[in-house]
Structure 1
Amino acid sequence: MSAKTEYASNRLVPLEAYRGIAAFIVLVHHFFLAFSPYTTGLLEQARNQDSLIGQPFFALFNGTGAVGFFFTLSGFVLCWSYFNHENPQKLLLAFLKRLPRLAAIVTITTIASYCLFKLNLYYFRDASELSLSPWLASFAYGLTPDFEPSFLRALIQGVTTFFTGEANYNTNLWTMKAEFFGSMIVYMLACFISAILGYRHLIYALTIISISALFYNDLIFPFVVGAFLSAHLAKNKFEISYLTSIALIIFGLYLLGYMIPEKAYTWFSIIPAPFKAHAQTLFHTIGSACIIFATMTNKKLFQSLNGKFLRGIGKISFPLYLVHTLVICSLSSYIFLKLANHGLSIQTNLILVFIVTAAFSITLALPLSKFDDWWVKQVDSTARRLLSKTPVMA
């Protein structure tokens, strides 16, 4: 099966669905950080022998691994169309659209957070005293001693977080700087791979560039790997068996569950010393690449994940990622406190609060995804008009 002929004209619904699942895993990750930090043991000061960290299924709770998947997937998807059609104008169009495409919905969430602060609808401080979560107490590590809510600063932060990395109003935005600059690198890599390499020597180029990226900035490494994987699959024919693809996905999930070399990951301690500081990024990226490769090289698996429901999951992925921490620090914290006052067991409280967190986050994500669809169309049409007016050099 040729990736080029089989998938080039389709939206990569299965990969977008994976993005939605990863966003939900980040929600789960933050939920336990907020209300039951000892369950997962993600924080070293909130960890014991019963914590889930180190278990082979930990990918289901590992938001860090999910973010690594986001970045690898972005590297793959952003240049997939270009590698299949090689239209430089479309690549330039994608380059121009990237910042305004992301900025609108990001800014909405920073302003929403400002409103929650001003209306005193955040209850994270009180809830943290009950859950003993330092993450929740500090507004997901977003508060600084001099923090004072300001509409103007919230508005500016929504637009500039892609350059500054500041994320006081919505700490999930720490990824936006990496996402934006990683995207720019992907577009430049796409030109390099097609125009200079001519799709030759991809393995050698990947080795040199990815290792350089890993030691320069961990967050760039997954974008590089995703881009090279995209080029490789766009230009080469692969067909692996269904069982092999499932095995690769299971192995990829195992790698995405890595955080510390304990329990099922004890053997990871043998990694060479120069790479130890980058172990999480390295294994999360390899795991992500395994899942993407497995999905894109087995027709049966790809088609089984190409349904309407999974398309919907993919559509709400970005809004869900952006809103859920605001929900956790406001409504979820409020419900957590109220249920605790009614004498419910810890387990019952957590189950009910999780249901509220998931349901309300998805409810908010749905209209935001509708707005995002509309906004993307506006940005696309504006960018096309501007590009069509640009004089072409002879």
Structure 2
Amino acid sequence: MSAKLEHGSNRLFPLEAYRGIAAFIVLVHHFFLGFSPYTTGLLVRNQDSLVGQPFFALFNGTAAVGFFFTLSGFVLCWSYFNHESPQKLLLAFLKRFPRLAAIVTISTVASYCLFKLNFYYFHEASKLSLSPWLATFANGWKPEFEPSFWEALWQGMTTFFTGEVNYNTNLWTMKFEFFGSLIVFMLACFISAILEYRYLIYAFLVISISALFYNTFMLPFVAGTFLSVYLAKNKHEIPLHTSIALIIFGLYMLGYMIPEKSYAWASAIPDIMKVHTQTLLHTLGSACIIFATMSNQKVFKTLNGKFLRGIGKISFPLYLIHTLVICSLSSYVYVKLAAYGMSNTKSLIIVFIVTATTSIALAIPLSRFDDWWVKQVNAITRKLLKDKQLVQ
């Protein structure tokens, strides 16, 4: 029996907890890029850098994004593959854009306010930390930029289509998230209506290769979708030790950045695939962790606690808001501590605490708004579907 059979809703809280952990890893990744850019080895690599070490998974924001995408592919069609209700899939499709747009727009408007209030200190902080990432507002700022309320509002609502991210550079993932979601919905229909759940391995290979060469970020969505249908139709529990081994292996894959040190073997990957190595390994690692968690009751229940559920609930707001905190309050504190003559190590500890606590504190009310907003979107889309059925 699979882990899914042990709970009565479609809310996969352990996987949402993973999403929260991944969001925090992105925060850590950006913290080091901003205030200690040479520690991880992402800018300048040396023998003492963290890049190339297996535990780099705890700092690898790139891998965390790959995990987000794979998880989205899995979760978005999980209910459909378990209940085979076209209405559920249509409902998920209709509410996808409004569900994402509200809180994303809030983040862009909030960034506009910070610009207008002159409460961004990333310029000053970058001169001390020597971070090119921080100097350019997390790779999204140009000297000629002039903040505009209407532009911020419009960008928040259209970044899913345009990819523009001047006010919150973390939103670069939203375009891929949105179009990846559409691919998931279409793929779910194709698997059930056309393939009728047959030839899944062949379809996975063909579609994965096509997705990889069309846009490398689409592969995780495809992999998540096929993993979802496999687990929905094959509810067999695996041993605990196998589950743990798969999670460890998955974390090892998520630690990959470049082919050196513990990952030197990756240099043997054929040249035609080398540009996709990160995506391939991060998708594989993400799929292993999701599979291991969903296929063992003990692992699933262990990750289903109240605390981890809470982490999952704030994951999306935390992801959206933390860069704004880093470029404003955290940068301000970093500059002031340096002015007081505090050592860099102590400054980094204090600034990290400020970054984490402030980001979480802001993410909590945003998550509550998000919960309320999702309920409104669900109610409206259900009503639209019901009214349409009555007309027909």
Are the aligned partners of 1:62 and 1:256 in contact in 2 as well (CA < 8 Å)? Answer: yes
Q: Judging changes above 3 Å, is the alpha-carbon distance between structure 1 residues 323 and 271 closer, same or farther for their aligned structure 2 residues?
A: same
Match of 2:326 among 309, 328, 338: 328
> What is the letter of the counterpart of residue 25 of structure 2?
I
What is residue 364 of structure 1 aligned with on the other side?
362
Are the aligned partners of 1:3 and 1:234 in contact in 2 as well (CA < 8 Å)? Answer: no
Q: Judging changes above 3 Å, is the alpha-carbon distance between structure 1 residues 3 and 189 closer, same or farther for their aligned structure 2 residues?
A: farther
Alpha-carbon displacement from aligned partner over 1:282-312 (angstroms, at most 9, x marks no partner): 0000000000000000111001111111111
Helix, strand or coil at the partner of 1:311:
helix
What is residue 100 of structure 2 aligned with on the other side?
102
Are the aligned partners of 1:3 and 1:235 in contact in 2 as well (CA < 8 Å)? Answer: no
1:14-33 map, 5 Å: 14-33=14-33
What is residue 231 of structure 2 aligned with on the other side?
233
Match of 1:166 among 158, 164, 187: 164
Moved more, 257-266 or 67-76: 257-266
Match of 1:111 among 109, 114, 122: 109
Q: Judging changes above 3 Å, is the alpha-carbon distance between structure 1 residues 332 and 4 closer, same or farther for their aligned structure 2 residues?
A: closer
What is residue 352 of structure 1 aligned with on the other side?
350
1:10 is displaced (CA, Å) by 4.4
Are 2:27 and 1:35 equivalent residues in the alignment?
Answer: no
> What is the letter of the counterpart of residue 196 of structure 1?
I
Are the aligned partners of 1:55 and 1:264 in contact in 2 as well (CA < 8 Å)? Answer: yes
1:386 is displaced (CA, Å) by 1.2
> What is the letter of the counterpart of residue 142 of structure 1?
G
What is the count of residue pairs matched by the alignment?
392
**CA–CA distance in structure 1, aligned partners of residues 139 and 21 of structure 2:** 24
What is residue 129 of structure 1 aligned with on the other side?
127
1:29-68 map, 5 Å: 29-43=29-43, 46-68=44-66
Helix, strand or coil at the partner of 2:54:
coil
What is residue 268 of structure 2 aligned with on the other side?
270
What is residue 307 of structure 1 aligned with on the other side?
305
1:133-282 map, 5 Å: 133-282=131-280
> What is the letter of the counterpart of residue 28 of structure 2?
V
1:350 is displaced (CA, Å) by 0.5
Q: Judging changes above 3 Å, is the alpha-carbon distance between structure 1 residues 209 and 33 closer, same or farther for their aligned structure 2 residues?
A: same
What is residue 377 of structure 2 aligned with on the other side?
379
1:390 is displaced (CA, Å) by 1.5
Are the aligned partners of 1:324 and 1:361 in contact in 2 as well (CA < 8 Å)? Answer: yes
Are 2:285 and 1:284 equivalent residues in the alignment?
Answer: no
Moved more, 223-232 or 336-345: 336-345
Helix, strand or coil at the partner of 2:39:
helix
**CA–CA distance in structure 2, aligned partners of residues 200 and 102 of structure 1:** 33
1:16 is displaced (CA, Å) by 0.3
Give the TM-score normalised by structure 1: 0.97
Are the aligned partners of 2:184 and 2:222 in contact in 1 as well (CA < 8 Å)? Answer: yes
**CA–CA distance in structure 2, aligned partners of residues 31 and 201 of structure 1:** 45
**CA–CA distance in structure 2, aligned partners of residues 359 and 120 of structure 1:** 22
Are the aligned partners of 2:3 and 2:300 in contact in 1 as well (CA < 8 Å)? Answer: no
Give the TM-score normalised by structure 2: 0.98
Are the aligned partners of 2:240 and 2:296 in contact in 1 as well (CA < 8 Å)? Answer: yes
Moved over 6 A (4+): none
**CA–CA distance in structure 1, aligned partners of residues 7 and 282 of structure 2:** 25
Alpha-carbon displacement from aligned partner over 1:195-237 (angstroms, at most 9, x marks no partner): 1111111111000001110111011110000000000000013
> What is the letter of the counterpart of residue 41 of structure 1?
G
Q: Judging changes above 3 Å, is the alpha-carbon distance between structure 1 residues 9 and 60 closer, same or farther for their aligned structure 2 residues?
A: same
Moved more, 140-149 or 319-328: 140-149
1:11 is displaced (CA, Å) by 1.7
Q: Judging changes above 3 Å, is the alpha-carbon distance between structure 1 residues 4 and 116 closer, same or farther for their aligned structure 2 residues?
A: closer
| Identity %, equivalent residues | 77
Helix, strand or coil at the partner of 1:288:
helix
Root mean square deviation, CA, Å: 1.2
> What is the letter of the counterpart of residue 62 of structure 2?
T
Are the aligned partners of 1:8 and 1:84 in contact in 2 as well (CA < 8 Å)? Answer: no
Structure 1: runs of 5 or more not aligned: none
Alpha-carbon displacement from aligned partner over 1:115-174 (angstroms, at most 9, x marks no partner): 000000000000000000000000001113431100010000000000001101000000
